[in-house]
Each structure stands twice: as structure tokens, then as C-alpha cells.
Amino acid sequence: MRLASCIAAILCAAASPAFATGTILCRSTISPTDGPALSLVVGAGGIVQARLIQGGEPFTTGEGVGAPMIAQTWLDRWQLKLDIVDGNADARIARLDTRRRVGEDYLGILILNGRTWRVRCEESG
């Protein structure tokens, strides 16, 4: 009976979902030091938070009253897409649209405040 309990405990632990997190950093391919920097936190359910730095004050989605928020995302082996809207969901602040080839980083565009930036997004963690 004790052996059966031990086996059941091992099987339950093995069946538990993995809650691994990682980050994806997107930077301008033309102006990596002066262009926007978008850092994404990726959890088991997809993109859970974004931090955007461009010129003025940086912001992090979901932090504070009226903070920008993630409206929609898409993340798989071949595509990475993201929309960030203002706290009232009235206006889009940023849109990320990238694609990836086998073994490559995600490459695409980041539209921020009406300006389009070519970006490269690298995974880490």
C-alpha cells in the first residue's frame, strides 16, 4: 500500500503543469540604442506583461491606475504579435507584428505613436 501511495505522488508531480517564464526583448534593427525597446514577460499562458521604453517615461502594462494594458497577443513558433492599448482601451499605443524563420529571431515591425520601426525580437530564459 505504501508503494502505491509513493507511485501516485510521483505521477501527480509529473503531471503538474510547468510554469516556466521567459522574456523576449525587441529592439530597433536600424537604431538599437535610440529606438524603442519592448520587453515581454512570457508565462505558461502567453505574454503576460510588457514594458516599453521610448524617449520619455517608460511604462509597464497593468501597473497603476489607468496604466496601458495588453489588448491581444499571439505567440507561437512562427509569429509574435501584440497590441497595447491605453487604460480605457480607447486608443492603441503600440502594435507588434513579427515573423520567424527556423532558428532565427522574430523579425517585423513595431508601430508606436504612428511611427513604424523595424525590430528584432530575441528570446531569453
**Better-scored residue on pLDDT, 56 or 121:** 121
pLDDT in tens, 23-71: 999 999 987 778 899 999 999 888 999 999 987 778 899 888 889 999 9
Q: Phi/psi of residue 97, each to 5°?
A: -140, 105
Looking at the domain 19-124, which fold is it? Answer: Lipocalin (2.40.128)
> pLDDT at residue 18 above 90?
no
Average pLDDT over residues 105-120: 93
Confidence of residue 10 (pLDDT cuts 50, 70, 90): very low
CB burial readout 37-60, b (16+ within 10 A) else e: bbbbbbeeeebebbbbebeeeebe
Q: What separation in angstroms does the CA of 91 have from each of 48, 52, 76, 99, 118?
A: 20, 16, 26, 25, 22
Grid cell at residue 76: 507561437
